[in-house]
Structures are given as C-alpha cells and as structure tokens.
Chain A
Amino acid sequence: MFDDVEISSSKTKIHDRLVYSGSGTELAIIMFQNIALTILTLGIYSAWGRTNTRRYVWGKVSFLGDRGSYSGSGMELFRGWMIVVAFYMVIAICLNIISRINPFLVVLATPLYVYLYALAIYGGARYRLSRTSWRETNFSMERNKESTQTFIWLVVKGVLLSGLTLGLYLPYFQNEKRRFLINKASFGTSKFNFTGDNGEFFKLVLWNLFLTFITLGFYGSWMILNLAKYKLKNSNLDNKLYFDIKLEGKSIFFFSVLSYLATICTLGLALPWVINKSYHIFINAIEVTGEIDFAAIQNVEISASAFGDVAAVEYDLDLGF
C-alpha cells in the first residue's frame, strides 16, 4: 500500500490508493437492521435503510487519510419513491386505457420507457454524486435542460442502434454514456474527464467476450478487470489526477467462487461479509496518481432530486457507485 504524499509549494504529488476499512460485521448489523425494520414498516424504512448503508460504505472509503461522506437522507429517497410510484401508476392507468382501445397502441409507450430509463441513469448518477463529498467538498454532476435533452437523445440512439445491430452497438453506447456522465461530473470546481475511444472499447469488449466464450465463462473475471481498468485508466480529474486499478483477474475469480459458495451455504447470511470483502478487494485496488493543488479547488453548492436515484433502483440499474 502506498502512502506517498509530497507537498511541494501548494501542489500535492499523489501516488496513493483508495482505502476501504469497513467491517463485515458492522455492515451486517446495518443490513440486518434494515431488513427487520423494512419488513416491520411494510417497506417504508427501506429508504432510510439504504441511506444508512450508503453512509456507512461512503464513510469507510478514505483517500489520503480522509474519509468520504454521504449526505443523502432517507426522507429524500422516500419522497423520490412516492413520485416514482405515482408516475408508474399514471403510466399503468394510461396504458390500460390505451390497450382497451387497441392493444398494439401500447407499443407507443416504448419511447416513454426509454425516456424514463435515460432519466433514471442521469438523475440517479447525479443524485448519488451530489450527495457524496470528501473533505467536506461536494462531488456534483452538471444538469440542465440542454444536457438532459442531449443525454436522452444519446440513450434513444443507443437503444435503437443496439437493437438494430443485435447488440453490436452496445459497447459504443456504453462508452458514449460513460463519456457523457463522467464529463459532466465534478469534484468541487474541478471537472472529471473521460478520454476512452469508442472503437478501442468495442475491440476490447469483443475480444474479452470471445475469450470468455471459448473458456466457457472462466475468463469472465479477467473481463471484468479489463473493462474496469479501461474505464478507470481513461478517467481523470482535471487532467491532473489519474486513476488505475491494480488487481489480478485470478483474485476476482477466486473471490467470485468463494463468495458464491459462502452465500449459498449460509442461505444468504454471509452476504454482508461477501459484499464487504468485495469492497475491500476492488476499492483498495484503485490507485490515484498525479499532482494537484487541493487549495485551488473550490466547493460548490449542490441540489438534486432523489427521483432519478429511486427510479434507477426500481430499474435495477447499476450506476457504478
């Protein structure tokens, strides 16, 4: 583990890794508490439960000795959930009425689903990022009418072309989506950048899929690693801090096998420890290098609705957090 921080003038030279210091037992306490209270409150507590878990995980991730923090609240998620439910109910009623007129007209709702899907990704990523801070400085994601329209078109085009090309366009779409979201993300006044090339990512995905296929899935762990490496290596903060992941495919492979067995054999009771271990493996392997003047970064005010986050959870979307 590196702990190599040099302070020269106001700039800090960094060659360090993120550190996750969570304990499986502590995470288990939170998760079991969440399950019990969520069931007892007929699901209402889940918003607060989710917030407690995120607060714990975020708070256990540190960089340069300082922990991160999550400032979202259960009430925000609960309000978001109420809006999502109301939204779904209206859509369901409308679709029901439309289907009675002509069942084929329901197809017209597809753009609505794509629209919601786009909002869930963008809004969800924005909400989680805006509630994340390090050294009391907020992360954020820019969003305005124009950027929302651009993202929706990106998703519409991605979904359409992925369907028409039988999935071949999917790596391009994913890379474009990542480029858009990362380029809109900031830490204080410093902007994140994504420099990945669509063609390069396409070749990487295709080659890894091929290897996974011919090895009957065994290469899957290496594929996960290669893709994560690509995403991190092509991301940077203000062209000053660069990311990488120092992990071996076999570590992911053995961890996957063991975690699967542990979860099955304990009927799911081992899940908190498995999740905690996965955070240890992945987060502790993320390396940050570069030179930056933290004092030059200014904090920014943030605001974001939890609608997107809740919708993303309902869609079971992985936002990469």
Chain B
Amino acid sequence: MNSDGKYYDGKSPVSIPVTCMVTADGLVILRESTDEIIAQWKRENIFQDENHNTAIVLGNKLDKAKIEILNNNITGMLRIGSSEKIVKNGRRFIFKWIGIVVIVCLALWAMIPIATNFIAVRIPYSLEVSATSNMNFDTYFKSCTLNPEQEHALKVYVDFLYPKNKFEKEMPVTFKIGNNPMINALTFPGGRVYIMKGLLDEVKNPQELLGVMGHEIGHVVARDSAGFFVRGTLLASFFGFMTGDFHSSFAVSPQILLSTAALTFDREMEKKADAYAAGRLTMLDVSTSGLRSFFSRLGNESGNFSAPEIMMTHPNFESRLSLIKETYPKSELPIEITSNWKIIKAICK
C-alpha cells in the first residue's frame, strides 16, 4: 500500500515530495521523482506526531525526520494511530460542542447563586467586619455628626427593627447618615449602612423610613456584601475561562458582559432584601404601605421612566410593588418611634 507525502529530514528546511510504501518491516520512503530510497523506518520506531491536529505527520524515533502523509491510507496498516485526532469540519461536531457549551454555561449560571450563597454564609461575619475595617466610607459619603439626641433617636429606630433573634445578634449593624443629596441607602461590608440625606428628606413618615432600613438590614442578614465578592470572583473566573487567548478579540469587553451578568444577581439580592423588609415590618405590626408608597412615589418622580431591567441593579418599581403585599397593622406605631420622628428628620440640617 502506498501513500504520497512530504519528507522533512529535520536538519534543514527542505521539503521533498515522496511516496511512502508499507512493507512487513515498516515504511520505505522513496523520492517521488526518481523512486530513489531516501529512508527506511522500522515499524517499532514509527510514531504519529501529536503536535499536529491539521495533518497526519509521522516521525521516526531514531532521527528528527518527519513525513506528512497527504492521502492517508497507511496509518491503519502500520497500527500507529488514525485520523481521529485531526480536527474535522462537520455540522455534527459544531452542534455537539455548541450544545455542550450551552448546557455547561446554563448549569454554571444556575450554580453561581447557589455556590455564592453556600460560600458567603460560611465566611464568618467577624472576618467580614475585620477584613473590611480599613475601608473608610465616612469621608467619601461625608457622614453627618449626630448629637446625642439624634444618636438616641436613630438607635431607637434601629433597635425597633433589629436584631430580633440569636442569629441576628451575631451580626451587628451600624447606621450612619451621609450628607449626600442622593435618594438612596447603601449597605457596605461589615454591616455598615449609609442612609443618604436625600433619602431622609424624601421619606414622609416613619413607616417609609423603617421600610428602607428593613431593606438594608435584609442585605446584611443575607450576607450580600460577602456574596458580592464571592459572586464577582466566580463570574470573573467564568468569563476568564470562556475568553482565554482571545480576550482582546471580543467585540464587547468581557468586563462589560461581566458587569451586565452581575446585575442579574444584584436584582435577585434586591428582591430578597425587599421581601425581608416586608416580612420584618409585618412581624412588628408595621404597615408595608409606607414602603409601597415610597417606591410608588419614587417611580412617579422618575416620570415612570424605566430603563430595561437587564441594565439595572434594582428591579423596576412596578415589579418591586408587585412583590410587596400591603399589610394592615392591628396597632399604632410605638410611641418612641413617632416621638423621635422629628429628631430624625432634623439630622444633617
């Protein structure tokens, strides 16, 4: 059995067209033009060079010579390999691997929140506090200095909401007011919550403020700060694996894809924090109407403008309202809450 090929002696870059003939001993290599024997390789010394996945290349263990087989019908006879390792162009292969990639990615996508929660809750809260104690947000958010009366009033509000069980007692939270016009409240690692003055001015009654505070406490209890870091690491690894050598070839920066992907999980965290706030208010016999009216008002003030949810860190106001059921309290708010309301509203003035 013969096969055409190209012979390289491994000493200099010269390519010789050859005919390869399989014999009982191995392979005889003949110069194509003259039929002169160039080399004879013994069967036991012949191997298929694995450095090639686009062609069948045979080597001889005794020297550096190689032969590229052009029409392979001899490797089977030599029992040294096959063309299976050669990349093949075929729909069957491409659909198979796209299918596997999609399944693997979907499975991983589903695993990310599970793995995040699993890891995040196992990071000791004390470690989260000590590891992030050097992060100073007071300067950045221009934290307001509270007089003793204001400090007491704020403490009354926090104590009313939290902690309510042994589990929560192990995760202390600190509330501060940031002198910032943003209508927002933010939770940082170590249970540090900043309510911005813009938000404090916006809330109309204690129920609204308690709702917002409950939401932020929901983030602390769910260990969302630790989860944020864990999830970020998992997502970065995921995208790193996917892009490999072609990082710079991506039309969309993997960093942007990463951030967009992270937003999906951000929205889930927000929904859970809303649910925690609603649950805590109901447990304390405080109406959720405050939280609902706050979201509803913010929605109206933004002119009901809503960017596509995929681009937002929070669910849109409509879906938030649909998640928070209105509850009707059987009793009034405690007197210490209502009596301290004016003091709270005067903070940062």
Chain A contact residues, CB within 8 Å of chain B: 23, 25-26, 28-36, 38-40, 42-43, 46, 49-50, 52-56, 59-60, 64-67, 69-71, 134-137, 187-188, 259-260, 263-264, 268-269, 271, 274-275, 278, 294-299, 313, 316, 318
Q: Give the size category of B's interface with A.
A: 35 or more
Q: How far is the CB of A224 from chain B (nearest CB, A)?
A: 13
> Could you say which of A26, A64, A69, A259 contacts B51, with CB atoms under 8 Å apart?
A69
| Nearest A-chain residue to B51, judged by Cβ | A71
Q: How far is the CB of A96 from chain B (nearest CB, A)?
A: 12
* Docked complex Cα distance between A275 and B246 (Å): 9
> What residues of A have a CB within 8 angstroms of the CB of B65 in the complex?
136
Choose the segment among B52-60, B143-151, B187-195 that binds chain A (4+ C-beta atoms closer than 8 Å).
B52-60
CB <8 Å contact, B13 and A187: yes
Contacts A26-B87, A295-B14, A298-B11; A263 near B52 (Cβ below 8 A): no
Q: Which 7 A-B pairs have the closest CB atoms?
A: A59-B54, A263-B251, A32-B97, A136-B8, A135-B13, A137-B13, A38-B241
Q: How far is the CB of B125 from chain A (nearest CB, A)?
A: 22
Chain A residues touching B, majority SS: helix
**Binary contact readout B87-121 vs A (1 if CB under 8 angstroms, 0 otherwise):** 11111011001101100110010000000000000
* Docked complex Cα distance between A26 and B65 (Å): 28
CB <8 Å contact, A318 and B248: yes
CB <8 Å contact, B97 and A33: yes
CB <8 Å contact, A32 and B87: no
CB <8 Å contact, B12 and A260: no
CB <8 Å contact, A136 and B64: yes
Contacts A25-B94, A32-B94, A299-B10; A316 near B248 (Cβ below 8 A): yes
> What residues of B have a CB within 8 angstroms of the CB of A59 in the complex?
52-55
> What residues of B have a CB within 8 angstroms of the CB of A60 in the complex?
54
CB <8 Å contact, B98 and A23: no
* Docked complex Cα distance between A134 and B68 (Å): 12
Residue B342 CB within 8 A of the other chain: no
Contacts A29-B93, A263-B251, A274-B249; A43 near B53 (Cβ below 8 A): no
* Docked complex Cα distance between A28 and B237 (Å): 21
Complex interface residues of chain B between 23 and 52 (CB less than 8 A to chain A): 51-52
Residue B197 CB within 8 A of the other chain: no
* Docked complex Cα distance between A308 and B297 (Å): 58
CB <8 Å contact, A188 and B13: yes
Q: How far is the CB of A263 from chain B (nearest CB, A)?
A: 4
CB <8 Å contact, A49 and B54: no
Contacts A137-B13, A295-B14; A50 near B100 (Cβ below 8 A): no
CB <8 Å contact, B251 and A25: no
Supplied contacts A55-B52, A59-B52, A136-B8, 5 more A-B pairs, CB within 8 Å = A25-B93, A35-B101, A56-B53, A59-B55, A136-B9
Residue B242 CB within 8 A of the other chain: yes
Q: How far is the CB of B20 from chain A (nearest CB, A)?
A: 16
* Docked complex Cα distance between A69 and B49 (Å): 11
CB <8 Å contact, B13 and A26: no
What would 30 A/B residue contacts be, using CB atoms closer than 8 Å? A28-B94, A28-B98, A29-B87, A29-B89, A29-B93, A29-B94, A35-B241, A36-B104, A40-B104, A43-B240, A46-B244, A50-B244, A52-B53, A55-B52, A60-B54, A67-B54, A134-B13, A135-B15, A136-B65, A137-B13, A263-B251, A264-B251, A269-B98, A274-B249, A294-B12, A299-B10, A299-B12, A316-B247, A316-B248, A318-B248
